[in-house]
Every structure is written in C-alpha cells, then in structure tokens.
Structure 1
Amino acid sequence: MKKISSLISKYALICFFFVSCTHQNFQTQLIDIHQIDPSISLDVRYATEQNFTGKVLYKSSKVYLIKEVAEQLVKVNQYLKDNYKLQIKIYDGYRPLSVQKKMWEIIPDERYVANPSKGSRHNRGCAVDLTLIDSTGNELDMGTPYDDFTEKSHIDFKELPEHVLNNRKILREAMMKFGFIPLQTEWWHFDYKHWENYPVLDVEIK
C-alpha cells in the first residue's frame, strides 16, 4: 500500500512539473511586437484612462503576442504598406486574465467581452485589436471609435459611408490573408487561427 501511495505521489509530482514547464514554455513565447518590428504604431488604451472602463488597467503600453501571431501581424503591416501605403495601429494584444475579470464586471455581455470563466483569445496572446493609419499617422475613418459597443461596430453593418466600408474591407481582407479571423461584433478585433492550442495566461504586462 505504501509503495502504491509513493508511486501516486511521484506521478502527481511529475504531472505537476510537466504542466508547470509547459505553461512556462507558453509564457516565454509571448513577445513584444516591437522586438520584431519597432515601426508598428501603438495606442494601448488600457494603459490609459481612455477606455470604456475609465481606468488604467495595464502598467505598460507595450503589446505582447504569441511569437507566431506577432510574426504574421508584421507581415500584415508590410502587405498594407506595399499595396495601400497604409499601416496598422494596435490598440491591444495579450491581456492578463485578471484584467479580463475586471472588464467582465463592467460589461458582462459575451458579444463584446469574453467571459473570464472560459478565458478569451486575448488571454492567450492570440487576439489583436487594431485599426488602419495612413502614411502620416492619421487613423482612417472606420465608422466608430474603438470599443464602441453598438451595432455600428458589427462587421455586417452596412449603413455607413462607402469609404468607411472600404476601409473596413481593406483591414479585414489583409488580416484574413495572414491567418486572422474577424470578430462579428467588433471591426477592430481579430483572432489568430489555432488560438485554442494556447493556454489562458495571467502574466502581468510590464
């Protein structure tokens, strides 16, 4: 009986060590987007009070993503430069689970904020919020501001000026070309394919 108990204890220790190492490995895959392309424009709203919560939620204005996601996003940026003389501006990337919980307390609506009990694509470092800017750094008209939780932000909302619909289309098609999936209710939000292969993380942004 003692031998069985000892074996179970050793097995549990091995499993714990494996899971811990696995999660550490995923955490080390989070990379600052500027380490790959420092020219990408950032406007991390959750590092300021200029967001729907009215509170500073991040201690840093850096954008972290899973390495593969960041690399594909850099390709999107280059594609837009080469074909439209446009670039991306990122609002948000990896988001700690603890921040997700704060957002859910304010807007418990899964159309706009992922339920933290399930974890979000942002919590996995596999989602990005972004817009388009021109060569002078001015944001293109996308019809609504970032984090506008109305039907106007939905990608199938058509009662918008033609140039706005075209701007959204350019962003959407460029992102999809490199493996990103648009979110129905937010024109600015895109999930990277295979996001489900990565675990939910709660690593503080510094």
Structure 2
Amino acid sequence: MRRLATALSALTLTTVALLAGTATAPPAARAASEPKAPEEFVALRAVDPTIIQEMRYTTAHNFVGERIDGYRQPLCILTRPAARALHEAQRKLLRQGYSLKVYDCYRPQRAVDHFVRWAKDLGDERMKPEFYPHVDKSRLFADGYIAEKSGHSRGSTVDLTVVRLPAKKTRPYVPGETLVPCYAPQSERFPDNSADMGTGFDCFDTLSHTEDPRIRGTQRANRQLLKNTLADVGFVNLPEEWWHFTHKPELFPDTYFDFPVSVRSLT
C-alpha cells in the first residue's frame, strides 16, 4: 500500500511539473524534435574534402562577437548541386595553385534572427572597430547589411574566398584582442590566410563591393579570379559583397530552412 502511495505521489508531481512547463525533455527527445535537412542537402566535405572550411559563425570572430544560434558544428552544408559546382571550381583552382575556402554556407533562420536581435541592440558595438568602423549601427537595416531573411537559408548560397597554396594556418581569434578595421592593409588586418581581396570577410563597407573602383592591382585580380571561376560553374555574385555567391537555379528559391548546422541534421 505504501509503495502505491509513493508511486501516485511521484506521478502527481510529474504531472504538475509538466503542466507548469518545468519538466524538460531528455536530450534525445530534444534532438528528435529538431527539424532535419531535406535529402537534397549534403555536407560539402563529403563532396570535396580539399576545400578549406573556416566557419566563422561557430566562433566569436564575427560582427556579432559570439557564436551564432544554430551553428552546432563547424560544418558547411549546401544543396547537392551547389556543392558539386564548388567541387568543379576547386578542380580548376587547384591546377592554378589555389584552393577555395568557405566562411559560411547554409544558414538556419534562427541564425538570421540572432543577427536581427543584435542589430536592434544599439548598445552592443564590441566588434564595430573591425567589421563596421564607418557605419552607424542604427543604419545596418537601411543600408542593407542586415535583413530578416537571407538567401543562405535556402541552401545554395555560400560565402567564400581563395587561398594560395600551400595554405598557411590561420591562428585562432582571441576574444578581447585589439581589433583592426576590415579595410586596413592585409598586413595589419586579422591574419586570414586568404588571397588579398582588399577587405576582410563580412566587412560592412562600400569597399566590399566587388567592382569598387578603389580596389586595383592584385586585389582586383584576386576578386576576378574568384568571381570568374565561380561564374563558370553557375554561381552568381552579389555585387555588394565580393565573397557572396548563389548557385543558380536554386533548388529551393522560396524556402527558408531552420534545421541546425550539424551532422545530425543531415538525413
């Protein structure tokens, strides 16, 4: 009888906790409830393991200054046609002594929402000296640097650059270190191992426009190498960002996915 009373008491407490919203599902249940990627998505490494991956939003070295929501692992995920096109571009670049390096690929909607929340918090400017020195944070939406939807969430858009081989290792970013403007000379900027494009990745400045006339010489040649190589395999550049390319035609031109960036998300 005492065992029955104890069991009923435990059952009552569990029911109350569930109704109050205080009970949490076990990790396995939470993982099972996460959205999954459609079968048309693939890890880039499975298609071409030679492409360098430096997934910035899994680190604090980005314009927000912290790991971005939804980036569980430093993994490039893309639709299969986009990944195969990058493989073809990589084959061409390797013959010329270069490699592609990706900074960001598929981006879940929750990450975009993180960007939007950050942009509305005008008091948080910890990364301004590097990523948007000349832009007032209150103008990030009006100037088009932040939006509530991103083509990355459709799975065929990628942010990338080229690296001269043999590739030097990029040192880890140390939170709190002195920040240098993203448009400073390459020798002064954060020591990215990529070819000199005139600005760093995610530089909120008009110098990042692919055809900006102030970008000349080797910097302009490097941008054209990236743009022309990708154009040959079906990628279209966003004119305002030398690093931003979308593979056409998109498999999901009207769908914005929100599955996390992780191996578990791939079916």
TM-score by length of 1: 0.82
Where does the alignment leave 5 or more consecutive residues of structure 1 unmatched?
A: 1-22
Q: Which runs of 4+ in 1 moved over 3 A?
A: none
- Alpha-carbon shift at residue 164 of structure 1 (Å): 0.2
Task: Return the alpha-carbon distance in structure 2 between the equivalents of residues 100 and 196 of structure 1.
Answer: 20
- The residue identity in structure 1 corresponding to 2:38 is Q
Spell out the pairing of 1:1-206 with structure 2 (5 A cutoff): 27-57=38-68, 58-82=71-95, 84-105=96-117, 106=119, 107-109=140-142, 111-113=144-146, 115-116=147-148, 119-137=149-167, 138-195=193-250, 197-198=252-253, 199-206=255-262
Where does the alignment leave 5 or more consecutive residues of structure 2 unmatched?
A: 1-34, 120-139, 168-192, 263-267
Q: Specify which structure has the higher proportion of helix.
A: 1
Q: Specify which structure has the higher proportion of strand.
A: 1
Query: Conserved in 1, the CA contact under 8 Å of 2:108 and 2:153?
Result: yes
Task: For CA contacts below 8 A with separation 6 or more, give which structure has more relative contact order.
Answer: 2
Query: Conserved in 1, the CA contact under 8 Å of 2:79 and 2:251?
Result: no
The SS at the match of 1:27 is: coil
Query: Conserved in 2, the CA contact under 8 Å of 1:92 and 1:129?
Result: yes
Q: How many residues align?
A: 179
In terms of Rg, which structure is larger?
A: 2
Task: Return the alpha-carbon distance in structure 2 between the equivalents of residues 47 and 108 of structure 1.
Answer: 23
> Alpha carbons of 1:69 and 1:160: their partners in 2 closer, same or farther (altered >3 Å)?
same
Query: Conserved in 1, the CA contact under 8 Å of 2:156 and 2:247?
Result: yes
Q: CA RMSD in A?
A: 1.7
TM-score by length of 2: 0.64
Amino-acid identity (%): 28
- Alpha-carbon shift at residue 160 of structure 1 (Å): 2.3
